[in-house]
């Protein structure tokens, strides 16, 4: 790999590792320092490598520089606390410098501990995802802003408030006790789930699918599976769900980055290895008696890995949606259920159920009603597609809805002739 390609790659893979370890060293009160030192490490590489040449072991070089910078910071802090300001109690003393351990095991432990700290209940969900993207995934502020469809200033303020909350609450960067793990794990899983959804249902003007966000969510979930305490059925269920969805990435877009709808996807492009991995983890998730929303959504996603439009497939999907809505009601899940209802029973029955939802600010609601009405009442179908077009946020959404309107116009013309 060329130097100009290697450094961005290493930033993505190593920034998060260095930051997580240094966050653990400095504590929640000094997260910004950890991030700054990690950033300065890569700045040093950018300034040094083009002139002195790439080191034989680039990762070891980065770790060495990060350790030195961290030790220098600690030494300066100790001097200030012990000599310049004797009334200030320093976190570190010159005689007790902490070990800066960048071994593989400590990196994994630090990232997992940081994940649990970030997902403390006092941190708002959107800030949890933002901090996870920054500290555990190595995303820049602009990338995070793009993911949330907002600006850098908003993200900076959000992250500042989240870090401040970590300081105020003195949240330890440590693995929770056994009694606390199960309670906190649900918040961790929700954060990973939201992170995955940000990528899978991207509304960015540049991309309808942010694979980088999805893969980072999967990486974090797999970290939980690798840890004995957190390798629980719900974790396996969520990982299984993400495997099934991710298996269709290559088929979801054409060479121009345009969306290909499920029925038009080339099944041969589906990643069978990921599907098999999803099946394995869904079986692992069946241990015990608990059924979470991740189990049910993984089951729905599993049936979508079978392209054939069979009665068995849609009956199973409908029953899974019924169970999901009883467990945790969601308007989006209720809307998706109506499509399964149309497959199992009839479009007329599905229309009645869909219209009860009255999701008048949701473009998918109008798109679905347009789809259901297409061969029943073309005028109504057109009005619903028009409403969906007004609510569409991305270029890709507008293109797909416009194509539906064109198809509907062609259908009406053929009927009239």
Kindly state whether residues 76 and 161 are assigned to the same domain: no
Say if 399 falls within a structural domain: yes
Can you give the pLDDT at residue 137?
A: 85
DSSP 264: G
Range of the domain at 183: 103-229
Select from 68, 93, 118 the last residue of a domain: 93
Kindly state whether residues 123 and 169 are assigned to the same domain: yes
The per-residue pLDDT string of the chain (417 residues; one tens digit each, 9 = 90 and over) reads: 566 678 888 988 899 999 999 999 988 888 899 999 999 999 999 999 988 989 999 999 999 999 999 999 988 876 555 544 443 444 555 445 667 899 999 999 999 999 999 988 888 888 888 888 888 888 888 888 877 778 899 999 999 999 999 888 888 888 888 778 888 898 899 889 988 988 887 665 555 668 888 998 999 999 999 999 899 999 999 999 999 999 999 998 888 777 888 888 999 999 999 999 999 999 999 998 889 999 999 999 999 999 999 999 999 999 999 999 999 999 999 999 999 999 999 999 999 999 999 999 999 999 999 999 998 999 999 999 999 999 987 777 888 889 888 888 766 555 555
Q: Which residues contact 113 (CB under 8 A, 6 or more apart)?
A: 20, 24, 173, 174, 175
**Domain count along the chain:** 3
Kindly state whether residues 75 and 152 are assigned to the same domain: no
Kindly state whether residues 33 and 120 are assigned to the same domain: no
Neighbours of 243 (CB within 10 A): 26
Kindly state whether residues 85 and 182 are assigned to the same domain: no
Closest CA to 296 of 327, 336, 332: 327
Can you give the pLDDT at residue 87?
A: 38
Can you give the pLDDT at residue 38?
A: 94
- What is the pTM assigned to this prediction? 0.85
H or E segment to which residue 279 belongs: helix 272-285
The position carrying tokens 């259920």 is: 337
**CB-hemisphere CA count at 13 Å for 380?**
11
Can you give the pLDDT at residue 411?
A: 64
Kindly state whether residues 86 and 135 are assigned to the same domain: no
Closest CA to 116 of 135, 143, 139: 135
Kindly state whether residues 77 and 8 are assigned to the same domain: yes
Kindly state whether residues 56 and 149 are assigned to the same domain: no
DSSP 81: I
Kindly state whether residues 122 and 207 are assigned to the same domain: yes
Neighbours of 99 (CB within 10 A): 8
Q: What span, in angstroms and rounded, lies between the C-alpha atoms of 67 and 61?
A: 10
Can you give the pLDDT at residue 13?
A: 87
Can you give the pLDDT at residue 65?
A: 96
Select from 229, 253, 282 the last residue of a domain: 229
3-state secondary structure at position 259: strand
Kindly state whether residues 171 and 89 are assigned to the same domain: no
CA distances from 395 to 179, 260, 390, 400 (A): 48, 14, 12, 9
Rg of the chain over all Cα atoms, to the nearest angstrom: 25
Q: What span, in angstroms and rounded, lies between the C-alpha atoms of 45 and 63?
A: 11
Tens digits of residue pLDDT in 204-229: 555 566 888 899 899 999 999 999 98
Q: What span, in angstroms and rounded, lies between the C-alpha atoms of 400 and 149?
A: 21
Q: Which residues contact 86 (CB under 8 A, 6 or more apart)?
A: none
Ordered alpha helix ranges (H), 80-230: 104-118, 125-131, 141-147, 152-168, 178-200, 211-226
Residue 220 sits at φ, ψ, to 5 deg, of -65, -40
Can you give the pLDDT at residue 113?
A: 92
Count of residues making up the chain: 417
Say if 29 falls within a structural domain: yes
Kindly state whether residues 87 and 159 are assigned to the same domain: no
Can you give the pLDDT at residue 415?
A: 56
Can you give the pLDDT at residue 206?
A: 57
CA distances from 340 to 95, 336, 367, 381 (A): 67, 7, 15, 19
Q: What span, in angstroms and rounded, lies between the C-alpha atoms of 278 and 259?
A: 23
Kindly state whether residues 124 and 206 are assigned to the same domain: yes
């Amino acid at each position: 790999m060329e130097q100009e390609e290697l450094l961005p790659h290493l930033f993505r893979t190593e920034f998060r590792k260095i930051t997580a370890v240094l966050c653990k060293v400095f504590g929640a009160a000094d997260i910004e320092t950890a991030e700054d030192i990690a950033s300065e490490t890569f700045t040093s590489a950018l300034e040094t490598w083009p002139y002195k040449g790439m080191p034989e072991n680039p990762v070891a070089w980065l770790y060495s520089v990060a350790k030195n910078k961290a030790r220098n910071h600690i030494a300066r802090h100790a001097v200030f606390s012990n000599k310049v300001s004797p009334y200030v109690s320093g976190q570190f003393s010159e005689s007790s410098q902490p070990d800066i351990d960048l071994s593989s095991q400590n990196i994994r432990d630090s990232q997992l501990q940081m994940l649990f700290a970030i997902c403390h209940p006092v941190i708002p969900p959107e800030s949890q995802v933002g901090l996870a993207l920054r500290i555990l995934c190595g995303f820049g502020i602009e990338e995070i802003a793009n993911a949330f469809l907002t600006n850098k200033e908003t993200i900076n303020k959000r992250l500042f408030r989240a870090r401040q909350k970590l300081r105020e609450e003195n949240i330890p960067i440590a693995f929770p006790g056994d009694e606390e793990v199960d309670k906190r794990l649900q918040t961790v899983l929700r954060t990973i789930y939201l992170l995955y959804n940000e990528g899978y249902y991207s509304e960015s003007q540049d991309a309808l699918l942010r694979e980088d966000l999805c893969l980072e969510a999967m990486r974090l979930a797999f970290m939980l599976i690798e840890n004995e305490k957190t390798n629980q059925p719900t974790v396996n269920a969520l990982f299984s769900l993400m495997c099934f969805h991710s298996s269709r990435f290559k088929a979801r877009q054409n060479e121009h980055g345009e969306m290909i709808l499920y029925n038009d996807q080339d099944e041969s492009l589906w990643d069978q290895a990921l599907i098999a991995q999803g099946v394995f983890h869904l079986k692992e998730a069946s241990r015990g008696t608990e059924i979470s929303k991740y189990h049910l959504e993984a089951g729905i996603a599993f049936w979508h890995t079978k392209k054939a439009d069979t009665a068995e497939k849609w009956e199973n999907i409908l029953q899974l949606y019924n169970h999901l809505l009883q467990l945790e009601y969601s308007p989006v899940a209720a809307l998706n259920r109506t499509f399964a209802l149309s497959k199992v029973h009839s479009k007329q029955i599905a229309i009645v159920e869909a219209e009860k939802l009255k999701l008048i600010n949701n473009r998918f609601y109008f798109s679905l009603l347009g789809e259901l009405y297409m061969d029943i009442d073309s005028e109504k179908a057109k009005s619903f597609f028009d409403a969906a077009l007004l609510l569409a946020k991305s270029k890709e959404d507008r293109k797909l809805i416009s194509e539906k309107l064109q198809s509907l116009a062609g259908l009406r013309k053929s009927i009239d002739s």
